[in-house]
Amino acid sequence: MRVFPAMRASDWGVIVALLGALLTILGCGQADPAEMPTIHAARERVSGPTAAVASLHAGEKLSLDTGGQVHPVLLDAPNETVVWEQADQDLPTAREAHALAFDSARGKVVLFGGRGTDLKDRNDTWEWDGNAWKELHPTSSPPPRSYHSLAYDGARGKVVLFGGSGNGNRLDDTWEWDGTDWTPRSPASKPSARERHSLAYDGARETTVLFGGYASVGHLNDTWEWDGTAWTLRTPPSIPPARSEHALVYDGARGKVVLFGGLGSFGVHHGDTWEWDGTDWVERNPASAPPARQGHSLTYDTARERVVLFGGTAAGSNALDDTWEWDGSDWVERRPTAVPSARQGHALTYDGTRGRVVLVGGIASARLLDDTWEYHAFGNACSTDDECNTGHCVDGVCCDRACDGQCEACDIEGSVGTCSLVTSGQPHGTRDACTGSGTCQGACDGSSATACAYPGNDVSCGEDFCEGGKEIHNPVCDGAGACVASNEVDCGLYACGTTECLTMCTSDDDCAGGASCVSGSCELADSDAGTDGGDEIDGGSDTEGGDEVDAGDDAGANPSPVDGGDADTGAPSDPATEAPAEASDEACSCRTVGGKEQSGHAPWLGVGLAVAVLWRRGRRAEDGARG
């Protein structure tokens, strides 16, 4: 038995209606192209100048995404500023010819020995944490001494000490400090007893390098290496001239031990620069160099990858107070505003935890010193905090503090690296922009570091206008970025004109929602119109008592609204004059590709009626076949 007989021409209209309803339903799942996000073929945004440049390939142009901010990250390194700052606490006892090393495992600067104001050599151990000096009292300690040297063995976590002069005797002993106690080491072979030599730890080869010094035979130029177990004498093809009171330091970026200056035989002061690569010494010939000197000190600024030199004594002159930096190619003198007093016999080391060069003590004009100074730079280009002595990479430069207020910045011309108030314009870098627009938009004005300033209600923000069914008169700023009305007039049943409410209409478009234009006036629609009860679906049964929906039959019954007839008269509707029904405000709706709202109920009603018509025709066809 067939439920649906062969299709007649009249049935195709029903099928078309059914398909149209289905397509309407499916259309609800489609996105409005106007609301679809634009897909940009842009590179992933990178942070910092190095990353931004490194992301380019050959033939590409650099396009920096500023993320909507007025001030992007700087690509050009601004001029940096270097400063010496005296610490609040001095070393309790003044001294010279002591030694420093930074214990990176424990984050402390270690000081040992030196000669005090009583002209006696000392064997005390101190630690500096950036705030205060603390004397330690280990169970064992090396004998008192001065003119010795220290270096920190990073692979083994030990501070290494060698030699010096103690109570008039030159020493050849090796000791190691583990943060708790000193331990003497007894290697089979070792350098000869000496003083005024220098040590540096070669991080690439994990050995402590010793060069030169002064012994009973005079100035020395031998090179030794300590691996934690034994001292080994090295015999390189090239050797710097013999000297004492020179300085060594390891340049981690270039993997070389750097030697500068010292006092040579016959009172010659050296101003030469040498590098040790683990195999040979190579003399460098930079375009600029510090004056020849002795009694100076070197350390390596890990964050900035520079060797730092301070002080000493030049030939025939008093002590020096100059600061120099070596970048692997040349020496550059730095001239900070404030500097430690001129001195020699002091000690330098680099505090890697705090990003500071630390200077302690020394002697100037026969006066022993007990002061502590720290040296650091800011304003240099950076992409991470680790690249800054200050620990603060802000606005693409090393900043003197965190500087995270909305209206403060570290890239302001004339004070790069110093956190300063932004006196005009929008916040810098990645800080949130001031809200608002036009006349009422906020801006930084130098009055606050933490917030934007906004025009208040004494500032007019535009002409009168009409919008959203209201006349807006004398608009002013609200002090938070918005332009608001100081006086409003409701348009009632009329729509807005350009600057004021309309007072008459020529079409419904001139009226507010829910109102219609009648004889030039906007009036509310009659809620009783068109409700004569004639548009319901005929729910009567057929002659067989069936309970299906009556959609009109072949016997000529009055056609229902589904068949296109009028529910009151049975006459066909005139599509040219019949106004489309308005969808209920409370009906479920969806957005189609065209962007217009469609009723969520109408498509399903159409589907139901179409299925009912087909089913009824099938039943009647079966009844005819049985008859």
CATH architecture of the domain covering 81-378: 6 Propeller (2.120)
pLDDT at 65 over 50: no
* pTM assigned to the model: 0.62
Which stretch of DSSP H or E encloses residue 609? helix 602-626
Q: What is the mean pLDDT of the chain?
A: 80
- Minimum mean pLDDT range among 32-46, 215-229, 443-457: 32-46
pLDDT at 32 over 70: no
Would you state the structure tokens that stand for residue 547, as one six-digit string? 């309970």
- Minimum mean pLDDT range among 174-183, 495-504, 593-602: 593-602
pLDDT at 486 over 50: yes
CA distances, 573 to each of 43, 379, 491, 562, 566 (Å): 60, 82, 38, 11, 6
Domain range summary for the chain, segments of one domain joined by +? 81-378, 465-523
pLDDT of the residue at 597: 43
- Minimum mean pLDDT range among 116-125, 396-405, 440-449, 531-540: 531-540
- Position 614 confidence tier, pLDDT thresholds 50, 70, 90: low
Would you state the structure tokens that stand for residue 489, as one six-digit string? 């007039």
pLDDT of the residue at 616: 62
389 against 301, higher pLDDT: 301
- Position 522 confidence tier, pLDDT thresholds 50, 70, 90: very high
pLDDT of the residue at 472: 87
pLDDT at 183 over 60: yes
- Rounded to an integer, what distance in angstroms lies between the CA atom of residue 116 and that of residue 114? 6
- Summarised one tens digit per residue, pLDDT across range 252-277 is 999 999 999 999 999 999 999 999 99
- Rounded to an integer, what distance in angstroms lies between the CA atom of residue 66 and that of residue 429? 8
73 against 129, higher pLDDT: 129
pLDDT of the residue at 201: 98
pLDDT at 211 over 90: yes
- Minimum mean pLDDT range among 47-61, 258-272, 292-306, 383-397: 47-61
With vertex at residue 328, the alpha carbon angle to CA 326 and CA 332, rounded to the nearest 5 degrees, is 30
Within 10 angstroms of residue 308's Cβ, the number of other Cβ atoms is 23
pLDDT at 138 over 80: yes
- Summarised one tens digit per residue, pLDDT across range 549-602 is 443 444 344 444 334 444 444 434 444 444 444 444 444 444 433 334 444 455
- Rounded to an integer, what distance in angstroms lies between the CA atom of residue 277 and that of residue 284? 13
pLDDT at 537 over 50: no
Q: What is the DSSP string of 81-116?
A: EEEEEE-SS--SS-EES-EEEEETTTTEEEEEEEEE
- Specify the DSSP class assigned to residue 513: T
pLDDT of the residue at 222: 98
228 against 565, higher pLDDT: 228
pLDDT of the residue at 342: 97
pLDDT of the residue at 131: 93
pLDDT of the residue at 387: 87
- Rounded to an integer, what distance in angstroms lies between the CA atom of residue 565 and that of residue 397? 79
- Rounded to an integer, what distance in angstroms lies between the CA atom of residue 588 and that of residue 154? 71
pLDDT of the residue at 11: 54
pLDDT of the residue at 353: 92
CA distances, 514 to each of 464, 502, 601 (Å): 26, 16, 22
- Position 56 confidence tier, pLDDT thresholds 50, 70, 90: very low
Mean pLDDT confidence for 145-160: 98
247 against 15, higher pLDDT: 247
Residue given tokens 């730890």 in the structure block: 201
pLDDT of the residue at 485: 82
Mean pLDDT confidence for 39-45: 30
Would you state the structure tokens that stand for residue 84, as one six-digit string? 């010496």
With vertex at residue 150, the alpha carbon angle to CA 145 and CA 151, rounded to the nearest 5 degrees, is 170
CA 307 to chain centre: 29
pLDDT at 322 over 90: yes
- Position 75 confidence tier, pLDDT thresholds 50, 70, 90: very low
33 against 469, higher pLDDT: 469
- Position 380 confidence tier, pLDDT thresholds 50, 70, 90: confident
Within 10 angstroms of residue 390's Cβ, the number of other Cβ atoms is 24
- Summarised one tens digit per residue, pLDDT across range 395-453 is 999 998 999 999 999 999 888 999 999 999 999 999 999 999 899 999 999 999 999 99
